[in-house]
Amino acid sequence: MSSPDPDRLRYAQIAGAAARHAQGWRLTAEEEAAAITELTETAAGRADLLAERAGTAIGFGEGRPDAARYQQIAELCIAAGADQALIERWIKVGRERAAAVAAIPYTGLPPGGLLLPMLRAALGRPRLHSCLCLRVIGPAR
């Protein structure tokens, strides 16, 4: 078994730190300073990985309801020392990832909707069948 790529591990740590601090609303000066400090320390001089996270956040977040949070992730990474010359390339990657996610069809709720899992949990039965649901709550009207 091969070892995990250290760059990917560091990138994941950067992404996690940025996501923890980015709230989508204005941070206080203390919150922002703490976020930048943590990102700078986590990146350990890897301005390229900060740029990757900043760019993918911008690209992925475009047009989303939570775009402000993704923009804030990017701004924190830039403030922590992201290599701004690399960000544009990563914005494209973020857009591609967003398009891939958008292409996954919504398959709807599971058969029986959310009612079956809720009844299973309420009754403590792992295999509650739909016929029992009809007995408990009656047929749909």
Distance separating alpha carbons of residues 22 and 74, to the nearest angstrom: 9
Q: Which residues of the chain have pLDDT under 70?
A: 1, 110-114, 116-119, 124-141
Identify the pLDDT of residue 135.
47
Q: What tens digit of pLDDT does each residue of 62-85 get? A: 999 999 999 999 999 999 999 999
- Angle at the Cα of 47 from the Cα atoms of 41 and 52, rounded to 5 degrees: 110
Identify the pLDDT of residue 128.
44
- Angle at the Cα of 65 from the Cα atoms of 97 and 98, rounded to 5 degrees: 5
Q: How far is CA 131 from the centre of its chain?
A: 38
Which tokens sit at 83? 């290599």
Identify the pLDDT of residue 1.
61
Identify the pLDDT of residue 70.
97
CA distances from 86 to 49, 56, 103, 133 (A): 9, 11, 27, 56
Distance separating alpha carbons of residues 136 and 13, to the nearest angstrom: 48
Identify the pLDDT of residue 106.
78
Identify the pLDDT of residue 123.
74
Domain ranges in the chain are 6-102, 107-141
Identify the pLDDT of residue 15.
97
What average pLDDT is seen over the chain?
Answer: 87
Per DSSP, the residues of 84-138 read HHHHHHHHHHHHHHHHHHHTSPP--SPTTTTHHHHHHHHHT-TT--HHHHHHHH-
| Identity of the residue numbered 49 | L
**Tokens 């990563």 identify what position?**
90
